[in-house]
Amino acid sequence: MTAKTKPTILIVVGITGDLSHRKLLPAIEQIVKAQAAPEKFEVVGISRRDVTAAEVLKGSMAEVQKGFLSKHLNMFQMDLSNPADYNRLKDYLKELEVQMGAPAQRLFYLSVPPQISEPIIRCLGEVGLAESSDTKLLLEKPFGTDLTSAQELITQTRKYFKEEQIYRIDHYLAKDMAQNLVVFRGGNSLFKRTWNKDFIERIQVVASEAIDIEGRTTFYEQTGALRDVVQSHLLQLAALTLMQSPEVGQVSEVPKHRLAALKQLQLPAGQPITNSVKRAQYKGYQRDVNNPDSRTETFVSLTLESQDPAWAGVPIQLITGKSLKEKLTEIRITYKKEQQFEANELVIKFQPHEEIELCLWIKVPGYEWRVERHFLQLEFNEQFGEIREAYEQVLLDAIVGNHTFFTSSEEVLETWRILQPILSAWSMQDQDLQLYPPGTDYQELM
């Protein structure tokens, strides 16, 4: 069944939030415009206050305000901490289904902090809103705040929802370039055969951002760069890079291979954490969050190793931060060399453009024998036109029930297992937190 033939009600908890405005609402509009959305499709926005659909849409793009959502966003006011309100919601959804004229699957999309999602899940379960197999739960990261809380959240959620009903969103996995990585490294013999420790010297996964925390004060103070970006996006990109390549066409095997790759990752054993992890905070952050004592990191870089023999001795560096010199997201693969001019680098770029770049040495044409480094580039925008936004894919995959590019509970636990020693060490002391001026190049902080 395609998304178009699946009558769907998408229930959005957190509709007035930043993520909904910036990503979700435009993505809904876009899949409708591309004629990929269900033909029978309604969106229900949950809010505590009495807000109209027009008010919710007002902060979004003009296209969203005038398009599909102006007719199909239904607002439902309720108190999320009041179990009785969930019964009202249940009746409301039944009524909406009658109006749609067909049984519709229900997608509950929770864009709320992890501390709040657990009681919401419990209430949904207790009024019987989780029972039907045609009900799905879409969860935004972070999934817990450490290994123990993630385990707890998973156990609680499983009381009401089966694993097949749960879609843990990591929008990096839904990015075209992340998915392309599977094909690029597995489908080209040149790279497939050299994708290991014998040829590769180092792997870097970088997500540098020029923006600061943009007013997300409470969220960021409780989260920090390690939990916000490393636990999810960067570890998943690392897993896609390190995993065994699935057989051609066997894309459904990707989650199994990602999990196996995560299981092999760890911090270097027998060393103090500060040898492999650096953290820093941009100057002005304490003012931004109105907390002069804040020790939350806005930058982190860490070096991991894999126990997979294919990657023995290859450092895997994960780097992210806010208020840095530029927006740049990339996976940088540095190849081994015997002489300086042999050094090759393959860079898989997500931001600022989706691009694959291979750095090669060539002789510059001319009378002299001059060797220089140049780049072979494949720019995706130029080749394929505009690239779809990750959230469009997230929605369509959840609607049709394709879990391949969502995070499983086992993966979530593995990522927290990898990072837990850092969290434990940081909870004891914060002497190693450095300060950096906004606009710093990430390489100066590593």
Interface residues with ligand BG6 (CB under 6 A) are 209, 228-229, 329, 351
- At closest approach, how far in Å is the CB of 141 from ligand BG6? 6
Residue closer to ligand BG6 by CB (options 207, 242) is 207
Residue closer to ligand BG6 by CB (options 25, 229) is 229
Among the options 233, 353, 374, 403, which is catalytic?
A: 233
- At closest approach, how far in Å is the CB of 66 from ligand BG6? 25
- Whether residue 26 is preceded by a cis peptide bond, meaning omega within 30 degrees of 0, is no
> How many residues are listed for the chain in this entry?
446
Indicate the residue whose CB is closest to ligand BG6. Answer: 228
Residue closer to ligand BG6 by CB (options 264, 298) is 298
Contact 9, 46 (CB under 8 A): no
Residue closer to ligand BG6 by CB (options 222, 351) is 351
Residue closer to ligand BG6 by CB (options 41, 391) is 391
Active site residue 233: yes
- At closest approach, how far in Å is the CB of 40 from ligand BG6? 30
- At closest approach, how far in Å is the CB of 175 from ligand BG6? 7
Residue closer to ligand BG6 by CB (options 228, 414) is 228
- At closest approach, how far in Å is the CB of 326 from ligand BG6? 12
- At closest approach, how far in Å is the CB of 214 from ligand BG6? 8
Give the active site residues.
233
